[in-house]
Amino acid sequence: GSPAVSGRLYGRQRSASFGGAPIQGTNLHEPLASFLEAGAPGGRDGVAAETPRGMRQDSILSPVSPRVPPRGPPLDHVSDREANPTPLLAGTAKARNASNSAARFAARYHELGQRYQKPLEQLLDKATIDEMASCRVALDAMESPPRIGTALGVLHRLQKPPASSPLKLRKGERIVHVVVTASLLLPALAKMMIMGLSKTFHPHDIYSVWMQPKATAFAQLIEAFGVPREHAIAVGDGRNERDAAAQLGIPYYYTGHSSDLLEVERCIVADILDERAREEELRAAAADARNGAKGKGGGKGGKR
């Protein structure tokens, strides 16, 4: 498939929701808001509340209701080509036609978000599913260790470290995997589902940067999670993500071979453990300094 990046952030994070940016060159805000106020399919009180956060254009929906304030960075979850299959939304048609197009647009992404979270068995027939499973096995057999199986194992072990792992996540600490791809959003979601990754990546953790540089998306994601840049890494096999990581000053790990994935896991675990060791050293030094100050103060008091 096309180059993709999985970003990892860890530490004590505040919850973050990400929404799409206003689509440039369109008058989508007003017709979409009017449509949602009239009542969107599957929504409550005119707001498509069940739509997954990553499928929702939060900054577009923000004028709809004060109860749904926009949160997160203005990432482009959909491109102009995806959002504008016809010129109706570009201000060249009557308001009624534009409103109808906005309705189809909102319903389309709502339906897609619902489908992505369903098991593949509910979307395809058994013969097709078996054929895709055979293709995945054949792809895995081309490399040792198998790429897809190795990737899934690494993702799961980092999110939920097993008892045998030296890494123990503290309370309020988590590791987040984010996909930033140059593909359009719809093909990216389809590939994630076919490869069996839909159970690992929620739609709100998948971003299309078809219309903006990857470095911009990386910076916005790091800011949205509220963590230092040293707590983020970029993983990929292309020049775009490597250059983006270098521009932001975050570590980059090349994963051209499946064995590289295991090395990434080892480096992440070692990095977290090293940082914790440094934190313990700083705490111990601060405690020693406080105890020393108390000892000196007590000596003076005795002389008096």
Binding site, by residue number, is 237
Instruction: Give me the long-range contacts of 291-297 (CB less than 8 A, separation at least 24).
Output: none
Any bridge partners for residue 44, and if so which? 47
Binding residues for Mg(2+): 237
Rounded CA-CA distance 160/175 in Å is: 9
Question: Length of the chain, please?
Answer: 304
End-to-end CA distance of the chain: 78
As given in the structure block, the two tokens for residue 152 are 């899934």
Sign, CA torsion 187/192/198/201: negative
Any bridge partners for residue 256, and if so which? none
Q: Are 43 and 36 in contact (CB under 8 A)?
A: yes
Rounded CA-CA distance 237/235 in Å is: 7
What's the CA angle centered on 189, arms 187 and 192, to 5 degrees? 110
Phi, psi of 267 (to 5 degrees): -65, -40
As given in the structure block, the two tokens for residue 226 are 């509220």
For residue 112, give the nearest of 62, 175, 41 by alpha carbon: 41
As given in the structure block, the two tokens for residue 163 are 């008892």
For residue 236, give the nearest of 2, 1, 3 by alpha carbon: 3
As given in the structure block, the two tokens for residue 296 are 């000196």
